[in-house]
Chains A and B, each alone.
Chain A
Amino acid sequence: MNSALDISTSALVAQRVRLDAIAGNMANMSSMVRDENGQMQPYQAKFVVFETDETLATSSGAAGVKVSSVETDEVEPLYRYQPYHPHAIQSGPKTGYVAYPNINMSAEFVDALVATRAYEANVGVLEISKAMGQQTLRILG
């Protein structure tokens, strides 16, 4: 009874982390990131990878979910011609261009929707587990 609650809660937590990553991607769709050499680089989208969490596993084989890692989406940045921009590229074939993050907004929104629906589904399971627990108490009542 409690393991079902714990498993559903782990899913809620995981989906929340995913939505956090999406929120970060949306917020930083025009941001620059300072790399280790002090150079300004365009922000790259982050996405989370989930894996089963065996610490919540039950004897029936059900397992929880946890965030396995947060990965960076290595896509080509968007180049915009802004020669007077402080971060404009100074040499090479792309001189005068500024590299901007290449965030795929449609994909991010779809991911956000999937995360929300997954959250909703797990709250539904949680409610059912709760109702089941309350029904069990009627045996003694």
Chain B
Amino acid sequence: MSAIGAINPALKLAPAGSIGGVGAGNAAGGVQGAAGGKPFKDFMLDALQEVNTMQADADQAVHQLVTGGDVNPAEVLTAVQKADMSFRMMMQIRNKLVEAYQEVSQIRI
């Protein structure tokens, strides 16, 4: 962790303990984020929204390109690539989430 911080000082990585905040002492109201932060659900929804916006931007750019608009092909293809990469990223997180859920759901009580 500290090695990553040394590579990029601007990237202030939070210590592992403060990321979750799902642990004990939080019985009051559902799942809260770390130290007044947003719950994980909101992070996920924000990320989803971001990915959706990128996809929409890419779609619009492609539409402009194929209908003869004054856009640079390089910019359009980069927009598509960025949308693709963020979508894949989101899918990985979603897969991890579903995996964790299934893990928990298999606990016998």
Is there contact, CB below 8 Å, between B81 and A5? yes
Task: Give chain A residues whose Cβ lies under 8 Å from the Cβ of B88.
Answer: 134, 137
* Cβ distance B7 to chain A, nearest Cβ, rounded Å: 10
Total count of chain B residues near the partner, CB < 8 A: 15
Task: Give chain B residues whose Cβ lies under 8 Å from the Cβ of A75.
Answer: none
B10 within 8 A of A: yes
Q: Which residue of B lies closest to A140 (CB)?
A: B92
CB contact between A9 and one of B10, B74, B92 (< 8 Å): that residue: B74
CB contact under 8 A between A13 and B74, given known A140-B96, A141-B92: yes
Chain A residues touching B, majority SS: helix
Task: Give chain A residues whose Cβ lies under 8 Å from the Cβ of B78.
Answer: 5-6, 8-9, 126
CB contact between B85 and one of A16, A59, A133 (< 8 Å): that residue: A133
Task: Give chain B residues whose Cβ lies under 8 Å from the Cβ of A2.
Answer: 82, 85
Q: How many A-B residue pairs have CB under 8 A?
A: 37
Task: Give chain B residues whose Cβ lies under 8 Å from the Cβ of A8.
Answer: 78
Task: Give chain B residues whose Cβ lies under 8 Å from the Cβ of A137.
Answer: 88-89, 92
A8 to B74, CA, bound (A): 10
A91 to B97, CA, bound (A): 84
* Cβ distance A48 to chain B, nearest Cβ, rounded Å: 15
Is there contact, CB below 8 Å, between B85 and A12? no
Most buried by B among A1, A16, A140: A140
Is there contact, CB below 8 Å, between A12 and B10? no
Which A-B residue pairs are the 7 nearest by beta carbons? A12-B74, A59-B10, A9-B78, A140-B92, A133-B85, A137-B92, A13-B72
A to B CB contacts below 8 Å, 24 in the list: A1-B85, A2-B85, A5-B81, A5-B82, A6-B78, A8-B78, A9-B75, A9-B78, A12-B72, A13-B74, A13-B75, A16-B72, A16-B74, A59-B8, A59-B10, A130-B85, A134-B88, A137-B88, A137-B89, A137-B92, A140-B92, A140-B93, A141-B92, A141-B95
Further contacts, 13 of them, CB under 8 A, given A9-B78, A13-B74, A133-B85: A2-B85, A5-B81, A6-B78, A8-B78, A9-B75, A12-B74, A13-B75, A16-B74, A59-B10, A60-B8, A130-B85, A137-B92, A140-B96
